[in-house]
Structure 1
Amino acid sequence: MVRVLELEVSADEIDPDAALFGEGLGLDSIDALELSLEVNRRYGVEIKAEDERNEHIFASLRALASHVLDHRTK
């Protein structure tokens, strides 16, 4: 995530339970798209923009990792 989004923090500085958007890590919708594309490429997990679970999936790094673990095909 740090590499793909070119974040100015190191991976160990990211709290896995902190919000990814808003007051947390501060990601935006473009970051979500880039992250979704990388998750699909790397793990075979497709996250569609219209998926009503996206708020939960992208709630935190831990939530995203859990979703990927549950749905990965690669």
Structure 2
Amino acid sequence: MDQLQTELKMLIIEALNLEDITVDDIETNAPLFGDGLGLDSIDALELGLAIKKTYHVVIDADDTNTRQHFASVENLAKYISENKA
């Protein structure tokens, strides 16, 4: 799981072109949106596409749990590991 979390942090940095941020800057439990990393809805779409391409896991934008899945790197890693083919 730790490796997946690190991979996700790298994916977030690459997919969203966060040039001034390193893997160490992204806290595993910190919110990705709002006060945490400060991502927005456009970032969520881009990240969703990158996750689909990398892990073949589709995150349904209409699912009521999607906000929870995107809450933190930890939640994303858990969701991906549970839904990976």
TM-score (norm 1): 0.93
Identity score, percent: 42
| Residue in structure 2 matching 1:23, options 30, 35, 52 | 35
Deviations 1:17-55 (A, max 9, x none): 000000000000000000000111111100121011111
Count matched residues. 73
Two-structure CA RMSD over aligned residues (Å): 0.8
Partners in 2 of 1:3 and 1:11 — Cα distance?
11
For structure 1, the residue ranges without an aligned partner over 5 or more in a row are none
Partners in 2 of 1:3 and 1:38 — Cα distance?
9
Structure with the bigger percentage of helix: 2
TM-score (norm 2): 0.82
